[in-house]
Amino acid sequence: MTDSKYFTTTKKGEIFELKAELNSDKKEKKKEAVKKVIASMTVGKDVSALFPDVVNCMQTDNLELKKLVYLYLMNYAKSQPDMAIMAVNTFVKDCEDPNPLIRALAVRTMGCIRVDKITEYLCEPLRKCLKDEDPYVRKTAAVCVAKLHDINAQLVEDQGFLDTLKDLISDSNPMVVANAVAALSEIAESHPSSNLLDLNPQSINKLLTALNECTEWGQIFILDCLANYTPKDDREAQSICERVTPRLSHANSAVVLSAVKVLMKFMEMLSKDLDYYGTLLKKLAPPLVTLLSAEPELQYVALRNINLIVQKRPEVLKHEMKVFFVKYNDPIYVKLEKLDIMIRLASQANIAQVLAELKEYATEVDVDFVRKAVRAIGRCAIKVEQSAERCVSTLLDLIQTKVNYVVQEAIVVIKDIFRKYPNKYESVIATLCENLDSLDEPEARAAMIWIVGEYAERIDNADELLESFLEGFHDESTQVQLQLLTAIVKLFLKKPTETQELVQQVLSLATQDSDNPDLRDRGYIYWRLLSTDPVAAKEVVLAEKPLISEETDLIEPTLLDELICYIGTLASVYHKPPSAFVEGGRGVVHKSLPPRTASSESTESPETAPAGAPPGEQLDAVPTQGDLLGDLLNLDLGPPVSGPPLAASAVQMGAVDLLGGGLDSLIGAPSFVAPPAAAVPANLGAPMGSGLSDLFDLTSGVGTLSGSYVAPKAVWLPAMKAKGLEISGTFTRQAGTISMDLQLTNKALQVMTDFAIQFNRNSFGLAPAAPLQVHAPLSPTQTVEISLPLSTAGSVMKTEPLNSLQVAVKNNIDVFYFSTLYPLHILFVEDGKMDRQMFLATWKDIPNENEAQFQIRDCPLNAEAVSSRLQSSNIFTVARRNVEGQDMLYQSLKLTNGIWVLAELRIQPGNPSFTLSLKCRAPEVSQHVYQAYETILKN
């Protein structure tokens, strides 16, 4: 009697029949009926209509029947939430059962019922089970917390389950510890900010103890968790490594690979001179090789990871080349991966063996594999210089086989070999030319044409060969067309006499008859070059080409370091950081290798120091040299850390990022000289196009009485433009100190850290006097207020408008740029009061054309009030006269860079409009001083 009978239906009313059976009085019949229901469920049939009948069977002493009903419930509770409530009582009762198996089963099943209403009833039983005396129940309950968190995260936090879960890490039973770690890891993954797995030496010790005693799956969870820990120093790293190493001999390959991950990561901290480092390297190789004798699926994942390990630490497997030789029964995906690793391990010592193998592979039957093998031979030639000759002769042998795709692939790689070793292997060209007719793939045709063009002077009939390609020009793919165009131009430059006609032909084909803009443009460029200056054309077209190197296949070092932290995960299979493919970027925290902190090595840490920046320069954020563009590109936005130079994060977020977004906005800001003073227009009083006055008009600010006027904060960087970071701010001057008051708001869903700020060079040399101090990470919706002191010691470059300031702010997400205008009065210094005589002399001294006149309208203040208000912003009244009923205020002010501005303010009692005359040796500031007046007086 087998279960297959449950699949066969005798009558059309199957559901109806089952219903009857479920409600039968006989226990046996009931059980059979439930089994039938489960059987239908397994094949995806919808049996949800039977919900009430099945739930009725739940109250039973028969454990098998109970389990079956639970199975059913888990699948269908979601579709019948109201009915599912009916089951709650039984669950709660079962949680009190004396049998731990039943208690655990109840709490486990309850967690799987993804119905909101049920979760409320789950809390109490769960709390009890988390403290249950039986470890089996506790470990089941730990997983249940993760389930509940997935359904209702808030509830879990409110009920304090997370803390209980954290306590379970110290449980006496290793299985409970492992499950608690697994549950916490899963929760932490969806909430990267929560800092749930707060690892410290004590908890690490507990984990390491549990590691030895728990099940293989538990070991994987614990090892993965350990990998996220950063030891304090090399000694701690070494002791962890020592305790993890035995895991390398585990039969479960996932345990082995997780252990490899921990070791690879912590090895980074160990000094290479250490004996232990060498021992560890030796211990890593055998388990990795053993992974290759497992099932093909495991081999594939292992090989993808070995590929990373080999790039990071080639010394681990350098003697193990032979294990990567392909076997006849390897699936194709394993073969291709092995081939890749073979090339990475190829060196002068083993190249002969590798080549012999590759040659063998090239006569295989699987086309993809053969192609890759041929390509691999080319890569060997480029990687191991001594082998180049051998590789070329091997490729020639392969061309002799005349197997179409082998020939084509060989020609493509020979082109690369020519790029690496120019003028060395031209002797093979004749053989290549023989196979011209058999080439039908664009890549091979393009490669061949390139070779002919490049070595046109040595091929007697190069013109004929190229001409033959030209016949079907329009049918070729773009790649071939472009290559043909260039090759013929090269030929023309080398043999101008015979090929004039040919070049005319190709140029007209490319420019007149082609729809492809790339081809047309390249055609035009060549045409013009050739017609205007053939010598220049020669220099351009026949220029020396950079040599290619094998580095082109390698993974970029920063990415590699990140991927090493993800050994054994999906990221390592795709060779992409999780942020690139994990859905929604949820829960992605960038991981980086720990910096080497060995005390013995503190003097030299070339691997971790940011490229090109001596440690001392990092804190000094003021750019000192170079042009505008260069400056911002060189900005060193390392997070402000006092003490030793920051290592890992700076490496990751180095100046490279700045190249990305910054350029466009920078190019838009020309280094431009301000307009001459004569151009100051006569339509006085009108807002002068600068955003500043607009901005201030809008605000109904609250000025502070002490110190100069402070405008209310305005939004400088909207959250939309800065991936959720909103920056608003204003400038103040108090007691001689200029500061920038910033308000940073995190409107994104992830935590922001590592803030840094940088200014572009500006007219008055404003620069941050201290690094941007944001002490705690900025969690979502949080806002911080920061006052950033500024100095005027930065480098100076006139901007347009004069008071504009370009700012770059960096955080862990990106670098953002915005530009703002600062009110000039923040630059008015405290000792700006001029002596009377001096004032008169200076006033006369400054030529009249430097005088600018402005109207300040609608200002209700009288002369005294004006004078005192201006004084608080460091505009000092030198003298006051009354001329014809008008109050004349003579005022002086000095800017931070020592420029004096003299002012004459005419106030007519009863008339709210004042007349302001400004005289200054640098007339371009007048406009902005006027704006400052306007701002101060009207607020």
Residues 74-93 that bind another protein (CB under 8 A): 75, 78
* Dist CA 347 CA 342 (whole Å): 10
Interface mask toward another protein for 305-334; x: CB under 8 A? -----------------xx-x-xxx-xxx-
CB of 575 to another protein, least distance (A): 12
Q: Are 92 and 75 in contact (CB under 8 A)?
A: no
CA atoms within 13 A on the CB side of 304: 18
Q: Are 233 and 208 in contact (CB under 8 A)?
A: no
* Dist CA 260 CA 727 (whole Å): 43
Which residues touch 825 (CB under 8 Å, ≥6 apart)? 708, 709, 733, 873, 874, 875, 932, 935, 936
Instruction: Pick the closer one to another protein by CB: 187 or 655.
Output: 187
* Residue-wise burial string across 89-105, b where 16 or more C-beta atoms lie within 10 A, e elsewhere: ebbeebbeeeebebbbb
Which residues touch 310 (CB under 8 Å, ≥6 apart)? 316, 317, 341, 344, 345
Rule CB under 8 A: choose which of 90, 140, 799, 877 binds another protein: 140
Instruction: Pick the closer one to another protein by CB: 577 or 794.
Output: 577
How many Cβ atoms sit within 10 Å of the Cβ of residue 369? 18
CB of 425 to another protein, least distance (A): 24
* Residue-wise burial string across 710-731, b where 16 or more C-beta atoms lie within 10 A, e elsewhere: bbebbebbeeeebebbbbbbbb
Instruction: Pick the closer one to another protein by CB: 366 or 464.
Output: 366
What residue type is assigned to position 779 of the chain? S
Candidate ranges 183-191, 534-542, 594-602, 784-792; the one touching another protein (CB under 8 A): 183-191
* Dist CA 643 CA 777 (whole Å): 19
Rule CB under 8 A: choose which of 24, 59, 62, 516 binds another protein: 62
Instruction: Pick the closer one to another protein by CB: 89 or 401.
Output: 401
Interface mask toward another protein for 266-285; x: CB under 8 A? --------------------
CB of 418 to another protein, least distance (A): 26
Please choose, from the candidates 578, 586, 539, the residue with its C-alpha nearest in 3D space to the C-alpha of residue 748.
586
Number of residues interacting with another protein: please give it, by CB under 8 A: 109
* Dist CA 93 CA 102 (whole Å): 10
Q: Are 413 and 377 in contact (CB under 8 A)?
A: yes
Q: Name the token pair of 460.
A: 């007697």
Residues 191-210 that bind another protein (CB under 8 A): none
Q: Give the C-alpha distances (Å, rounded to integers) separating 921 from 423, 668, 821, 842, 894.
A: 66, 29, 23, 10, 12
Map tokens 């901290």 to a residue. Answer: 269
Instruction: Pick the closer one to another protein by CB: 175 or 807.
Output: 175
CB of 290 to another protein, least distance (A): 5
Residues 27-56 that bind another protein (CB under 8 A): 27-28, 31, 35, 38-39, 42-44
Instruction: Pick the closer one to another protein by CB: 249 or 704.
Output: 249
Tell me: does residue 582 bind another protein (CB under 8 A).
yes
Interface mask toward another protein for 511-550; x: CB under 8 A? ----------------------------------------
Tell me: does residue 424 bind another protein (CB under 8 A).
no
Residues 645-704 that bind another protein (CB under 8 A): none
Residues 1-30 that bind another protein (CB under 8 A): 1-4, 6-7, 27-28
Instruction: Pick the closer one to another protein by CB: 214 or 748.
Output: 214
CB of 397 to another protein, least distance (A): 11
Rule CB under 8 A: choose which of 136, 277, 421, 818 binds another protein: 136
* Dist CA 847 CA 869 (whole Å): 29
Residues 369-408 that bind another protein (CB under 8 A): 401-404
* Dist CA 683 CA 828 (whole Å): 26
Candidate ranges 115-123, 357-365, 598-606, 665-673; the one touching another protein (CB under 8 A): 357-365
What residue type is assigned to position 5 of the chain? K
Rule CB under 8 A: choose which of 17, 134, 157, 741 binds another protein: 134
Candidate ranges 213-221, 420-428, 739-747, 803-811; the one touching another protein (CB under 8 A): 213-221
CB of 253 to another protein, least distance (A): 5
Q: Are 130 and 142 in contact (CB under 8 A)?
A: yes
Instruction: Pick the closer one to another protein by CB: 134 or 741.
Output: 134
Query: How many Å is the Cα radius of gyration of the chain?
Result: 38
Residue 20 DSSP class: H
Residues 864-893 that bind another protein (CB under 8 A): none
Rule CB under 8 A: choose which of 166, 193, 217, 791 binds another protein: 217
Q: Name the token pair of 14.
A: 């199957």
Residues 587-616 that bind another protein (CB under 8 A): 587
Candidate ranges 97-105, 454-462, 824-832, 833-841; the one touching another protein (CB under 8 A): 97-105
Instruction: Pick the closer one to another protein by CB: 140 or 931.
Output: 140
* Dist CA 262 CA 256 (whole Å): 10
Rule CB under 8 A: choose which of 570, 667, 686, 715 binds another protein: 570
* Dist CA 266 CA 880 (whole Å): 75
Q: Are 652 and 558 in contact (CB under 8 A)?
A: yes
Give all strands of the β-sheet with 914-920 in edge-to-edge order. Answer: 851-856, 914-920, 900-907, 886-894, 876-883
Tell me: does residue 216 bind another protein (CB under 8 A).
yes
Interface mask toward another protein for 224-263; x: CB under 8 A? x---------------------x--xxxxxx-xxx-----
**Cis geometry, peptide bond prior to residue 615 (ω within 30 degrees of 0):** no
Instruction: Pick the closer one to another protein by CB: 216 or 627.
Output: 216
